[in-house]
Amino acid sequence: MLLAQISDLHVTAAGHRLFDRLDTGAYLARAIDHLKGLRPRPDLVLVTGDLVDGGAVSEYEHLRARLAALDLPYRLMPGNHDDRDSLRAVFADHCYLRAGTFMNYVVDEFPLRIIALDTVVAGETGGLLCRERLAWLEARLAEAPAEPTVIAMHHPPFVSGIAEMDAINCANSAALGTIVARNPQIERILCGHIHRPICLRWHGTVVTTAPGTAHQVLLDVDPDAPVSWILEPPACHLHHWWPEDGLVTHVSYIGDYGPAHAYG
C-alpha cells in the first residue's frame, strides 16, 4: 500500500494570495500534478489539516475546485486554520466528515488501517486531545488490536525545538502517549502543522510531520527566535507499507529539479 500525505495547504479564496505573495492554490495544483505523476500511484491521499487559511466558505470552494483535478481517492482532516462548519458545507458529500462534533474517522479498507484524529480547538491555534477524543481513539484501537495502524492528527504531540510552534502543539499529549504505549499495532503517527519534515521515536512508535505544499517554517531552534516562513522546496510524504518490514516514509519534493542522470 502507498499512502501519500500532503499537509498545510493554506488555500485562500480564488484571486487572493497568502501574505499578499503566495498563490497557495497554484502551489496545490502543482502538488496535485506531482501526485498524479507518481508511479506506482498512491492508493490514498491524506490531507492532514490547514486545508485553507481562514476557514471561509469561499476558500473551501477554491480548495474543492483545485481538488477536482486529483484523480486519486483522498481524505480531508481539519487543522487550526480550518472551520468545521464551512468544511462540512462545501464537502457535504464527504460522509466521513459528518459524524459527530469532531472530525474523527477510520479508513479500514486497506492493509494499513488509518485513524484520523481531530485535534482542533475552535478559535485557538494550539491543539488538544480531550477525554472524549481520547476515549474514541481507545475504542477504535480496541476494535482491531492486531491490525497495523497509523494515527493521523494535525498538531504534533512532541517538542520540536522550534519554540513558537511548540507553544501551539497538541496539549494533553502525555495521555495520548499512554494510549500509544499500550497499543503496539500503531506503526506511525502522521502529523502536519510544523511545515517541516521531522521524525522521532515516541512512546514505542514513530511520529513524523510532513512539509507544506507551499511555504515551510524556518528551521531555527534558538528559543528566542520568532517563527518565520521560508520558500524552501515544497514536498509531500509517501508512506509505503511493506508487511515484511513495516512503514517506509519518503520525502518527495514537488517541483522541477531537472532530469535524473544515470550513474557511470
Give tens-digit pLDDT for 241-263: 999 999 999 999 999 999 999 99
pLDDT at 218: 98
The answer to whether position 243 is within a domain reads yes
**Three-state SS at 161:** coil
Helices (H), 37-83: 57-67
Structural domain includes residue 262? no
Which pLDDT score is estimated for 189?
A: 98
C-alpha cell at 141: 484501537
Q: How confident is the model at residue 100 (pLDDT cuts 50, 70, 90)?
A: confident
Identify the domain containing residue 121 by its residue range.
Answer: 2-253
Helix or strand or coil: residue 50?
coil
pLDDT of residue 264: 86
Q: Does residue 200 form part of some domain? A: yes
Asked whether the predicted pLDDT for residue 99 surpasses 90, the reply is no
Give the helix, strand, coil percentages of the chain, each rounded to 5. 25, 25, 50
Task: State how far the alpha carbon of 85 is from the alpha carbons of 13, 98, 260, in Å.
Answer: 17, 10, 45
**Does residue 264 fall inside a structural domain?**
no
Rounded CA-CA distance 107/136 in Å is: 15
In order, the DSSP letters of 228-254 are -EE-PPPEEEEEEEETTTEEEEEEEE-
Return the pLDDT at 98: 84
Rounded Cα–Cα distance for residues 113 and 211 (Å): 22
Is residue 151 within 8 A of residue 112, CB to CB? The reply is no
CA dist 164 and 124 (Å) reads 14
Is the confidence at residue 129, as pLDDT, over 90?
yes
* Backbone φ and ψ of 167, nearest 5°: -70, -15
Residue 221 lies in a domain: yes
Per-residue pLDDT averaged across 102-120, rounded? 97
Provide mean pLDDT across the span 19-40. 98
What is the pairing mode between strands 127-128 and 170-171? parallel
Question: What DSSP designation does 126 have?
Answer: S
Local confidence band at 214 (pLDDT 50, 70, 90 cut-offs): very high
Which of 258, 254, 240 has its CA nearest to residue 212? 254
DSSP 214: S
127: domain CATH number?
A: 3.60.21.10
User: Which 3 state secondary structure label does DSSP give 4?
Assistant: strand
What integer best gives the mean pLDDT of the chain?
A: 97
222 is a domain residue: yes
Distances from the Cα of 254 to the Cα of 76, 142, 176, 215, angstroms: 20, 38, 32, 12
Report the number of distinct structural domains present in the chain.
Answer: 1
Q: What are phi and psi of 178, to 5 degrees?
A: -60, -40
Q: What is the pLDDT of residues 195-208, one digit of tens each?
A: 999 999 999 999 99
For 161-213, write each residue's pLDDT tens digit: 999 999 999 999 999 999 999 999 999 999 999 999 999 999 999 999 999 99
pLDDT tens-place string over residues 59-94 = 999 999 999 999 999 999 999 999 999 999 999 999
Residue 259 lies in a domain: no
Angle, helices 131-143 vs 173-181, to 10°: value is 10
